[in-house]
Every structure is written in structure tokens, then in C-alpha cells.
């Protein structure tokens, strides 16, 4: 009988939340930084939540944010 070990793949979901008194661009930069950190820790996937026009969330186009995350990372898979 052979034994196999299945590796658990972990993911991150980020909403790119804005903070009171801070510019929205900071939230976007924080999302990219989080994606880089998740990649460095070996996470498999980084999800950007769908949030079209939701108050308190930076940006209105998750696909654009996902593209920025993908451009800043090399191995983590990016999705919305």
C-alpha cells in the first residue's frame, strides 16, 4: 500500500478596504503588498473580491486591481 500526501493549498481574499482619512490609492497599494506577502508565504491563490461601487472599497473595477496584483507577483494565481 502506498501513501500519498495531499498538500493543502491556501488562498487569500482581499476587499481592498479604504481607511478613514487615508487616500484610496493607499488601499490599492496595501492590496498589492498583501499579495506579494501571500506569495512569499507560499499561498496558492489571491482573490480580489467583486465590489463594483461598494462604499469603503477602493476602486470600482476588480479586474483592474487583479491585473495590478498579477503584474506585481510571479507565482500566485490571481482571480476575482
pTM: 0.85
Average the pLDDT over 41-59 and give the result: 86
pLDDT at 3: 60
Whole-number Å distance between alpha carbons of 60 and 56: 11
pLDDT at 78: 97
pLDDT at 72: 97
Alpha-helix runs per DSSP H in 1-80? 24-40, 62-72
* SS3 of the chain: helix, strand, coil, percent, to 5: 35, 15, 50
Whole-number Å distance between alpha carbons of 41 and 19: 25
17-34 pLDDT tens trace: 999 999 989 999 999 999
Buried b (16+ CB within 10 A) or exposed e, 56-75: ebbbeebeebbebbbebbee
pLDDT at 4: 65
Amino acid at each position: 500500500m502506498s501513501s500519498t500526501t495531499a498538500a493543502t493549498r491556501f488562498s487569500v481574499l482581499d476587499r481592498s478596504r479604504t481607511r478613514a482619512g487615508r487616500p484610496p490609492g493607499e488601499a490599492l497599494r496595501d492590496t498589492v503588498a498583501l499579495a506579494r506577502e501571500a506569495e512569499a508565504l507560499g499561498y496558492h491563490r489571491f482573490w480580489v473580491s467583486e465590489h463594483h461601487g461598494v462604499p469603503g472599497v477602493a476602486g470600482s473595477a476588480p479586474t483592474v486591481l487583479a491585473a495590478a496584483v498579477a503584474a506585481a507577483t510571479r507565482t500566485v494565481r490571481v482571480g476575482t
